[in-house]
Structure 1
Amino acid sequence: MSSPTLTDKVSKMIRQDILNGDLKPGQKLVVAELKEKYAVGASPIREALVQLSWKKYVRLEPQKGCWVSSVTHSELSDLFESLKIAASHLLKKAIQQGDENWELEVLSAFHKLSRIQHTEEAFDNSEWEERHQRFHTALLEGSDAHTMYGFFLELDNQVKRYRYLALNSDSFDTKTFINVDEHESLMKLVLAKNEDQALQVLEKHLDNTQRKIESILPEEEE
C-alpha cells in the first residue's frame, strides 16, 4: 500500500483538475497517462481514483476503466431537489438554535464573500467558489442536525462540479452569476431570526443557481 498522504495528495490534484476543467466530463482516465501527468506511481493513482469514485467525481467500471463523471440536466435537477430539502431543514434549525458564535461565523463568512473582486479582469473563480461554499455552510452550522449536515455536504460537493463548470464556461458572466446582494439579504434575514422569509430567499437563491448552471449545460440526447 502506498502512503495515505500521497494518495490523498493525488486525489486532491485530480479532483482540482476535474473542477478546473483540465479533465473534462466523460473523459477516460488512463493510469499510465495520469502517472506521467502527476509524476507518481500507479498505486497512488488507482487508490486516488477509488476515493474519487466514492465522491462521484469519477466513474469506475471493473475490467473496463475509469472516466470523469458526466454532467447531466437530470442529475443536476435531482441534486438540487435534495439540496433544497436538506438546506431548508438545516437553516430552519440553525435559526432556532444558533448562538452568538454562530452569528459571528456567518458575519465573517459573508464579509469575506463580499470582498471578492467582481470585475472580469480581477475575478478569481476558485476563490469565489470556496468563499461562496463557506458562506452557505456557515449559515447551516448553527443546527445540531449533524447527520443531515453531513448529507448536505455530500450533495454540495457533487454540485460543486456543476458550479465550477459554470464558472469556467465561455458564456460565464460575473454580473449575472454572482449576486452578493442576494447573499446579504439572506444573511440579514437569518440573523434577524426571520425564519419564513429566510427560507423563501434560500429557495429562490438555489433555484436561480440551478437555472444559471442549466443554461450552460449541453442538451441531452433523447
Structure 2
Amino acid sequence: MSSPTLTDKVAKMICQDILSGELKPNQKLVVAELKEKYNVGASPIREALIQLSWIKYVKLEPQKGCWVAPISKLELYDLYESLKVVSSVLLEKSIQQGSESWELEILTEFHKLSRFKFQGDNFNWQEWEDRHEAFYSSLLSGCFSKNMLDFFNDIIRQVKRYRRISLSHSPKAFSELFNLEEHEKMMKLTLDKDIDGARQQLTQYLNDMMKDIEPTVSEIEMN
C-alpha cells in the first residue's frame, strides 16, 4: 500500500495532464506507461486512478482496463442543465440568507479576479481559473445548503474538465471569461439582492460558456 501523500500527488499530476489535454478523452491509461511517465511505482498509479474514477475523470472497467473518461455533447448539455438549475437555486438562497461576511467574501474574490494580470497568450490559466471559480463559488456560498453545495461542486469538477479541454484547443473562443464587466454586473446584481436579475445573468453566462465549449466537443466526437 502506497502512502496517501504519494497517491494524492500522483492523482494530482494525472488530473492536471487530463485537464491540459496531454491525456486525451478515451485514451487508454496503461500502468506500465504511467509508471515511466511519472517515475513512481505501480501501487500509487493504481490508487490514483481509482481516486480519479471517483470524480469521473477516469473510467475503470474491471478486467478490461482504464481510460480517460470520454466526453460528449449529450453529457455536456446534461452537465450545464444541471449546473443552471442547482446554481440558480443556490444563488437565490444565498441572496435571501447571505450575511455581511458573505457580501465581504464576494467583494474580496471579485477584487482578486480584477487584479489578475494578463501577459499575452502565455498567461497562467490555472491561476485565472482558480480566481474565476472562487468568485462564482462565493456568490453561491451564502446559503445553508451543504448537500446542494456538494452537488454543485461535483458538477463543477465535470464542467471544468470540458472547459479546460476546450481551452487547450481554442483559448480565444472564451472571450467572456475575461470580460470583467460581465463579472462585475453579476456581483452588483447579487449584492443588490436582485434575485431575478442575478439568476438571469448567471444563466446567460453559463449558456454562453456552453456554446463556446460545444464546437470542441463536436470535433473530438467526430475523430
Q: What pairs up with 1:82-161 in 2 under 5 angstroms?
A: 82-118=82-118, 120-121=120-121, 123-161=123-161
- CA apart distance, 1:179: 2.1
The SS at the match of 2:218 is: coil
Q: Which amino acid aligns with 2:111?
A: H
Cα shift readout 1:157-181 (whole Å, capped 9, x = no counterpart): 0110011112211463454553221
Aligned to 1:142, the other structure's residue is in SS state: coil
Counterpart secondary structure, 2:217: coil
Gaps of 5+ in 2: none
Secondary structure of 2:60's aligned partner: strand
Q: How does 1:1-222 map to 2 (within 5 A)?
A: 1-118=1-118, 120-121=120-121, 123-170=123-170, 172-173=172-173, 175-219=175-219, 220=221
Give the structure with the higher percent helix.
2
- Shift of residue 63 of structure 1? 1.0
C-alpha contact 2:110 2:135 (8 A) present in aligned 1 = yes
Q: Distance in 1 between matches of 2:14 and 2:108?
A: 30
Paired residues, what number?
Answer: 221
CA contact (8 A) 2:174 2:209 kept: no
User: What's the C-alpha RMSD, in Å, of the aligned pairs?
Assistant: 1.5
Describe the shift of the 1:123–1:98 C-alpha distance in structure 2 as closer, same or farther (beyond 3 A).
same
Structure 1 residue 152: Cα displacement: 0.2
What per-residue deviation string (whole Å, max 9, x for no partner) do you get for residues 171-213 of structure 1?
6345455322111100001011111100100111111111111
| Deviation, structure 1 residue 150 | 0.3
Cα deviation digits, residues 131-173 of structure 1 (max 9, x gap): 1111111111101011000000000001100111122114634
After TM superposition, give the deviation of residue 122 of structure 1 in Å: 5.0
Separation in 2, partners of 1:171, 1:104: 31
In structure 2, the CA distance between the partners of 1:44 and 1:107, relative to structure 1 (3 Å rule), is: same
Deviates more, 1:105-114 or 1:117-126: 117-126
- Which blocks of at least 5 consecutive residues in structure 1 are unaligned? none
Asked if the contact 1:86–1:152 (Cα under 8 Å) also holds between the matched residues in 2, the reply is yes
Structure 1 length-normalised TM: 0.94
Distance 1:178-1:216 versus aligned 2 partners, 3 A rule: farther
Contact 1:79–1:159 (CA under 8 A) maintained in structure 2: yes
Distance 1:140 1:175 in 2: 23
Preserved contact between residue 106 and residue 135 of structure 1 (Cα < 8 Å): yes
Q: Which amino acid aligns with 1:4?
A: P
Report the CA distance between 1:26 and its aligned residue: 1.1
SS for the counterpart of 2:172 is: coil
- Which amino acid letter does the alignment assign opposite residue 169 of structure 2? S
Distance 1:80 1:218 in 2: 16
Q: Percent identical across equivalent pairs?
A: 57
8 Å Cα contact 2:174-2:212 kept in structure 1: no
In 2: Cα distance, 1:174 partner to 1:93 partner: 29
- The answer as to whether partners of 1:84 and 1:203 remain within 8 angstroms in 2 is yes
Aligned pair in 2 of structure 1 residues 122, 116: CA closer, same or farther (>3 Å)? farther
